[in-house]
Amino acid sequence: MTSSSKTPTPIGANKAAQDAGFKHFKAFLEAYGLRLDNTHDVEEGKDILRSMGYALH
């Protein structure tokens, strides 16, 4: 039996942030008080996007 739901196609963080209504990933991070020059903040931002349902590569 096959599933009718497809696995979402992975996209980049910048594209996901734009889809969420932000100009780019940097603006998304800043909206959450995160910084692009901090690797932990970048990973946290990606985790937020994943929790919003985005499949990131």
Q: Can you tell me the distance from the alpha carbon of 45 to that of 22, in angstroms, rounded to the nearest whole number?
A: 13
* Residue 41 counted as domain residue: yes
Tokens of 11: 């996209």
* 1 — pLDDT class (breaks 50, 70, 90): very low
Res 29: pLDDT: 98
**How many residues appear in the chain?**
57
* Residue 2 counted as domain residue: no
* Residue 8 counted as domain residue: no
Please report where in the chains the tokens 């931002």 appear, as a residue.
Answer: 45
pTM as predicted = 0.85
Tens digits of per-residue pLDDT, 3-52?
A: 556 777 899 999 999 999 999 999 999 999 999 999 999 999 999 999 99
Residue 11 pairs with which residues in a beta bridge? 56
* Residue 7 counted as domain residue: no
Res 5: pLDDT: 63
- Domains held by the chain: number: 1
Range of the domain at 44: 13-51
